[in-house]
């Protein structure tokens, strides 16, 4: 196992102006296709079983049009309390037109403070992105958003570098007030090979992805994630945290080839 202790000041984490502009221009899920889009995705139907999700309560933001489907910024926020006994327990993301529709599964605890993430995904052409959220009381919520993609991203060349494989960067708030929620940014260098791309000699490059990610605060789980091959290279995840006291955040990544890496960041609560 590799171990990296990341300084919270070591990474500026600033997004490019173009990416920020695209995010701000994106319309919310309520302006797009009906959330019943989930009914056309087999893994989503299997997940829900007989449950009927309620439309609304989930905001998805991503560019209305993107030229590069290999790394599409996505923000998801669930409008729901995050308190003991009544919180968003899990968020499931799907892309209706991808070869494999699963994008990611995120599991929250009240320590997150909010059910919200920013990440980057691969999209195989124009399609609908769907989010399903399950609360701790068993209620389901649904949201959907259409996006136009000029160039498919599922079989394009990976942007990840194998030279610095599993190198991680973490940025967490230095200081928070009691009851305040702060954003944590994480990134791991990894090609996230989809198993759909061929090398120069026409041989299929085997699938190799970061499969799981977990965050703990002083031994208590904040968030757990399961990634699928439609996550963009160099998996990026922004999420909130609302610690009750000062302490250390611990981060754990593991890929399906067995390699793993960890990092830490301290937060002071006053």
pLDDT at 163: 72
> Do 144 and 29 form a contact (C-beta atoms < 8 A)?
yes
User: If you average pLDDT over residues 146-162, what whole number do you get?
Assistant: 73
pLDDT at 93: 98
Helix (H, G, I), strand (E, B) or coil at 168: strand
Q: Are strands 260-269 and 2-3 parallel, antiparallel or unpaired?
A: parallel
Helix (H) or strand (E) holding 70: none
**Confidence band of 152 (pLDDT split at 50, 70, 90):** confident
Helix (H) or strand (E) holding 46: helix 42-48
Over the stretch 199-224, which tens digit does the pLDDT of each residue have?
888 899 999 999 999 999 999 999 99
> Do 218 and 240 form a contact (C-beta atoms < 8 A)?
no
Structural domains in the chain, CATH included, are 2-269 (2.60.40.10)
User: If you average pLDDT over residues 23-48, what whole number do you get?
Assistant: 67
Whether the per-residue pLDDT at 11 is higher than 50: the answer is: no
CA–CA gap between residue 241 and residue 180 (Å, rounded): 9
pLDDT at 4: 52
User: If you average pLDDT over residues 127-136, what whole number do you get?
Assistant: 97
Over the stretch 60-80, which tens digit does the pLDDT of each residue have?
999 999 999 999 999 999 999
**Confidence band of 136 (pLDDT split at 50, 70, 90):** very high
The mean predicted confidence, pLDDT, of the chain is: 87
pLDDT at 202: 87
Helix (H) or strand (E) holding 18: helix 17-25
Tokens for 269, please give them. 């609560």
> Do 103 and 121 form a contact (C-beta atoms < 8 A)?
yes
The number of CA neighbours under 13 Å toward the Cβ of 260 is 10
The number of CA neighbours under 13 Å toward the Cβ of 131 is 30
Over the stretch 247-266, which tens digit does the pLDDT of each residue have?
999 999 999 988 999 999 99
CA–CA gap between residue 7 and residue 241 (Å, rounded): 17
pLDDT at 199: 84
Angle at 30 between CA 101 and CA 103, to 5 degrees: 15
Report the residue count for the chain. Answer: 270
Which residues pair with residue 254 across a beta bridge?
A: 212, 260
Whether the per-residue pLDDT at 23 is higher than 90: the answer is: no
Whether the per-residue pLDDT at 28 is higher than 90: the answer is: no
Whether the per-residue pLDDT at 119 is higher than 70: the answer is: yes
Whether the per-residue pLDDT at 31 is higher than 70: the answer is: no
pLDDT at 175: 96
Whether the per-residue pLDDT at 186 is higher than 50: the answer is: yes
pLDDT at 198: 83
pLDDT at 157: 58
Q: Are strands 220-227 and 210-217 parallel, antiparallel or unpaired?
A: antiparallel
| SS3 assignment for 106-126 | EEECHHHCCEEEEEEECCCCC
CA–CA gap between residue 270 and residue 268 (Å, rounded): 7
User: If you average pLDDT over residues 128-134, what whole number do you get?
Assistant: 97
Distances (CA, A) of 81 to 78, 111, 116, 135, 198: 9, 12, 12, 9, 46
User: If you average pLDDT over residues 127-148, what whole number do you get?
Assistant: 97
**Confidence band of 125 (pLDDT split at 50, 70, 90):** very high
Tokens for 135, please give them. 């609360």
Which residues neighbour 256 within 8 Å (Cβ) at sequence distance 6 or greater? Answer: 207, 208, 209, 210, 211
**Confidence band of 160 (pLDDT split at 50, 70, 90):** low
- Which of 237, 115, 112 lies closest to 181, judged by CA? 112
């Amino acid at each position: 196992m590799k171990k990296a202790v990341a300084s919270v000041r070591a990474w500026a984490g600033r997004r490019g102006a173009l990416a920020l502009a695209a995010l701000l221009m994106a319309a919310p899920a309520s302006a797009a296709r009906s959330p019943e889009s989930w009914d056309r995705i087999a893994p989503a139907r299997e997940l829900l079983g007989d449950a009927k999700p309620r439309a609304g309560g989930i905001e998805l933001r991503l560019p209305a049009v993107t030229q590069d489907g290999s790394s599409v910024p996505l923000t998801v926020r669930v409008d729901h309390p995050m308190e003991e006994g009544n919180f968003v327990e899990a968020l499931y993301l799907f892309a209706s037109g991808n070869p494999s529709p699963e994008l990611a599964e995120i599991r929250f605890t009240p320590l997150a403070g909010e059910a919200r993430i920013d990440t980057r995904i691969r999209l195989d052409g124009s399609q609908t992105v769907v989010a399903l959220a399950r609360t701790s009381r068993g209620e389901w919520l649904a949201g959907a958003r259409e996006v136009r993609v000029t160039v498919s991203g599922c079989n394009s060349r990976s942007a990840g570098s194998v030279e610095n494989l599993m190198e991680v960067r973490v940025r967490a708030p230095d200081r928070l007030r009691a009851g305040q929620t702060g954003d944590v940014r994480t990134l791991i260098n990894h090609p996230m090979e989809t198993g759909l791309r061929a090398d120069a000699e026409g041989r299929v490059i085997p699938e190799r992805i970061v499969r799981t990610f977990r965050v703990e605060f002083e031994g208590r789980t904040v968030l757990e994630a399961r990634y699928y091959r439609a996550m963009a290279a160099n998996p990026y995840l922004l999420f909130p945290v609302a610690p009750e006291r000062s302490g250390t955040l611990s981060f754990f990544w593991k890929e399906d080839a067995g390699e793993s890496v960890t990092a830490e960041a301290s937060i002071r609560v006053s």
